[in-house]
Amino acid sequence: MGRFRNAGSDDGNDTVIDMSPLMDCVFILLIFFIVTTTFVEESGIELDKPEAAAATKSDKESLVIQVTEAGKVLVEGREIGFGGVRPLVQRELRAEEVPVIVQADQGATSGLLMRVVDEAKLGGAPKVSVGTIASKE
């Protein structure tokens, strides 16, 4: 019966609870929640930024080439065909560095689109963007 103590007896030994395992668990949980938390970026306000006086704005901001479902290649409403893309891009880029945008109709095949993009790159366009033709509805 030496293993059990009498609740009423006071032998001078105080019982101490070891807190280090509890602290370890708390820190592990804290690290877990910090790592798994996703931070939401709050949207800011729209600013109307002033333009520099030395900035030049061209009349033609970009060269838009359209590819129709029927396979026609159009620039500003006139048909130029696949053969006219490369010379047009060379001529436009010689005057001023403008971005080239190829707009494809929904029904246009990817082969037609890639052919026009390749012709524009061969014409010297450093970057060619691809977009869609806006619907007229």
Nearest Cα residue to 124 out of 96, 106, 112: 96
- Residue 91 lies inside a defined structural domain of this protein: yes
- Residue 95 lies inside a defined structural domain of this protein: yes
Indicate the pTM of the whole model. 0.53
Which structural domain range is residue 115 located in?
63-132
d(CA 87, CA 85): 6
Bridge partners of residue 79, in order along the sequence: 74
Q: How many domains does the chain have?
A: 1
Reading the block at residue 42, the tokens are 């709050």
Q: What ranges in the chain are assigned the alpha helix state H?
A: 20-36, 85-95, 110-122
Per residue of the chain (137 residues), give pLDDT as tens.
556 665 555 566 778 888 999 999 999 999 999 888 877 766 655 656 566 554 444 446 788 899 888 888 989 888 888 889 999 999 888 888 888 999 888 888 888 889 999 999 998 888 888 877 665 55
Q: Please report, for the domain that includes residue 93, its CATH number.
A: 3.30.420
- Residue 34 lies inside a defined structural domain of this protein: no
